[in-house]
Amino acid sequence: MKTICILDYGIGNIRSVSNALTNLGAKPDITRDPARIAAADGIILPGVGAFPSGMELLHQHGLVAEIHRYVQTGKPFLGICLGMQLLFDKGTEFGTTDGLSLVPGIVDRIPVQPGEGRLPHIAWSRIARNSAVPDVMFAGLSDEQCRFYFVHSFTARDVPREFVTGALDYLGHQVIAAVQRGNVWGTQFHPEKSGPSGLAVLTNFIGQC
């Protein structure tokens, strides 16, 4: 049984990620303990809320160095929602904050203009897969089934195309739905809240662990 560590840095609703892993036959370990992190077969960085407070909490708990150390071992790492946004170089919410720089890109507010539509983008949205990259993340899913639950107001830009595994159009603006750079995965959507399709993504992740 694979042990997947869910990083506990005082942010987000981690019970649903934990429930999903249990449901899929993995063993969730909610922790910030360096020894348990190092021993895990895979790591999930969950998260909701604002970029600066997310990074601040990771620093506070000494997790930034732990994350980098872990990623260097080549073992799988998945950031979800804010956890994906923190993978990039910088966030611009409430001033500029340095991210984890595991994937190139800058996280900005989706530039929705007044009268154009609503934020947050809270919806089930169909994504378009990037056919130019190997499809591990969405393996086994049809295009129809690539429909996931999103809740966010920010998205990454300037992400090299080879790291983008899925994207969607929200009111004419590109939203990066998912990224993969080697063993580092990120999903803007919540796989743990996206029904059987989301569970399939988590199954694919566990399969790499």
Partner 1 sequence: MRVIARLDVKNQFVIKGIHLEGLRKVGDPIELAKAYYAAGIDEIVFIDSVASLYGRNNLFPVIRKASEEVFVPITIGGGIRSVDDVAQALDSGADKVAINTAGVHNPKLIEDVAKKYGSQCVVASIQTKKVPGGWEAYVDAGREKTGLNALDWAKRLVELGAGEMIVTSIDQEGTKSGFDVEVAQAINESVNIPVIISGGYGQPKHVGELLKRTQPSGLCFASVLHYKTASVADLRTVLREAGAPA
Residues pairing with 178 in the sheet: 166, 187
**Any catalytic annotation for residue 56?**
no
Q: Which residues bind partner 1 (CB under 8 A)?
A: 13, 15-16, 19-20, 22-23, 48-50, 114, 118-120, 122-124, 149, 151-152, 190, 192-196, 198-199
Taking the complex as a whole, the smallest distance from the CB of residue 43 to partner 1 amounts, in Å, to 20
Helix (H, G, I), strand (E, B) or coil at 157: strand
Q: One of 81, 93, 121, 152 is an active-site residue; which one?
A: 81
Pairing of strands 97-98, 90-91: antiparallel
- Residue 138 or 149: the one with the smaller Cβ distance to partner 1 is 149
Taking the complex as a whole, the smallest distance from the CB of residue 18 to partner 1 amounts, in Å, to 9
**Any catalytic annotation for residue 116?**
no
Peptide bond into 46 cis (omega under 30): no
Handedness of CA 179, 10, 72, 90 (dihedral sign): positive
Q: Which of 14, 44, 17 is nearest to 209 (CA)?
A: 44
- Residue 183 or 187: the one with the smaller Cβ distance to partner 1 is 187
For residue 79, the number of C-alpha atoms closer than 13 Å in the C-beta half-sphere is 27
- Residue 181 or 190: the one with the smaller Cβ distance to partner 1 is 190
For residue 141, the number of C-alpha atoms closer than 13 Å in the C-beta half-sphere is 27
Taking the complex as a whole, the smallest distance from the CB of residue 134 to partner 1 amounts, in Å, to 26
CA distances from 111 to 127, 135, 159 (A): 19, 29, 16
Taking the complex as a whole, the smallest distance from the CB of residue 160 to partner 1 amounts, in Å, to 28
**Any catalytic annotation for residue 192?**
yes
Active site positions, annotated: 81, 190, 192
